[in-house]
């Protein structure tokens, strides 16, 4: 059972602003990963770190989305 705590308008704006920032960083990392992987001499360690960061961002995005729009059983 999941309980949701209502947010104030300010808290909701803060969550939405953070969500926007994370989505931008996630998209930018996606572009950077694509470019780096096209380079035949790419740095494997850098690529691996960027992929881990991208996954972390995805998890943070999902968490915030759940906070803003929790599943409420019908």
**pLDDT values of the chain reduced to their tens digit, one per residue, 74 residues:** 455 567 899 999 999 999 999 999 999 999 999 998 888 888 889 899 999 999 999 999 999 999 998 776 65
The answer to whether residue 40 is domain-embedded is: yes
The answer to whether residue 4 is domain-embedded is: no
The answer to whether residue 46 is domain-embedded is: yes
How far apart are alpha carbons 58 and 29 in whole angstroms? 11
Q: Which domain covers residue 52, as residue numbers?
A: 9-65
The answer to whether residue 1 is domain-embedded is: no
- Is residue 68 within 8 Å of residue 23, measured between CB atoms? no
How far apart are alpha carbons 61 and 67 in whole angstroms? 10
3-state secondary structure of 3: coil
| Number of independent structural domains in the chain | 1
The answer to whether residue 3 is domain-embedded is: no
* Number of CB atoms found within 10 A of residue 57's CB: 20
Q: What is the pTM of this model?
A: 0.81
Contacts of 51 (CB under 8 A, 6+ apart): 33
The answer to whether residue 32 is domain-embedded is: yes
The pLDDT of residue 28: 97
């Amino acid at each position: 059972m999941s309980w949701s705590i209502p947010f104030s308008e300010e808290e909701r704006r803060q969550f939405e602003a953070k969500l926007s920032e994370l989505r931008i960083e996630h998209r930018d990392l996606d572009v950077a990963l694509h470019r780096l992987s096209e380079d035949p001499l790419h740095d494997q360690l850098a690529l691996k770190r960027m992929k881990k960061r991208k996954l972390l961002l995805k998890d943070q995005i999902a968490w915030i989305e759940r906070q803003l729009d929790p599943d409420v059983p019908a």
